[in-house]
Amino acid sequence: MLRLRPFKISDIPYLLDWAKEERIFTMWCANQFSYPLTAEQLMEYRETYDKEENAWSFTAIDETGTPAGHLLMRNADYEKDSIHFGFIIMNPDIRGKGYGKEMVGLAVNYAFEILKVKKVTLVVFAPNTAAHSCYKAVGFTDVRLREEPFLYKEETWHLYDMEIQNKA
């Protein structure tokens, strides 16, 4: 069982540990951070979003209180009743066990029940099939496959724009 709580400075070592492999790191941040990830970059990230009134960063913790995942909610638009999720990452030791689905589901519930938005959006790289499947399992649907690619080394990645709407 996971719980969501605000991202704290004490979570930084966990994120550093989860983002060690360069390809996974790039799928996580789309070059918004430089590789290898550093504590200084994460401190700046935290400070930036702590000042942003329409963004919140969260850590998913397990039943022992140990961080298991992270995500950012940003670009809250109360006129359009929407918010965007990004920087979604899980502890690689627990991937494939349903925790990502649980964390994203908790975040969607927070967005719908607490923030009262009607739509949540996110973007996922097409080669990140595990994450794409996870988001679909939560209820996100593909809105479009972007034509402009993202280049990673010798690979060309396309991106899916996804969304989930509150039917209530």
pLDDT value at 167 more than 90: no
Q: Identify the structural domains of the chain with CATH numbers, from first to last.
A: 3-120 (3.40.630.30)
**Mean pLDDT for the chain overall:** 97
**What CA–CA distances, in Å, run from 29 to 3, 86, 168?**
23, 8, 32
| pLDDT tens digits for range 133-153 | 999 999 999 999 999 999 999
96 by DSSP, 3-state: which? coil
| pLDDT tens digits for range 32-45 | 999 999 999 999 99
Question: What are the residues whose beta carbons fall under 8 Å from the beta carbon of 115, sequence distance 6 or more?
Answer: 73, 76, 83
Tell me the pTM.
Answer: 0.97
Mean pLDDT, residues 34-63 taken together: 97
pLDDT value at 51 more than 90: yes
